[in-house]
Amino acid sequence: MAKKKSFENSLKRLEEIANEMEQSEVNLDKSLKLYKEGVEEAVFCSNFLKEIEQEVYTLKKDANDVFKLKSFYDMEE
Q: What is the DSSP string of 4-70?
A: PP-HHHHHHHHHHHHHHHHSTT--HHHHHHHHHHHHHHHHHHHHHHHHHHHH-EEEEE-TTS-EEEE
* Per-residue confidence (pLDDT) for residue 75, from 0 to 100: 56
* Per-residue confidence (pLDDT) for residue 77, from 0 to 100: 47
* Per-residue confidence (pLDDT) for residue 59, from 0 to 100: 63
Closest to 7 (Cα-Cα) out of 48, 35, 43: 48
Amino acid found at 4: K
* Per-residue confidence (pLDDT) for residue 23, from 0 to 100: 83
Q: What is the pLDDT along the chain (77 residues), one digit of tens a residue?
A: 556 789 999 999 999 999 999 887 889 999 999 999 999 999 999 999 988 877 766 666 677 777 777 776 665 54
Question: For the whole model, what pTM was predicted?
Answer: 0.68
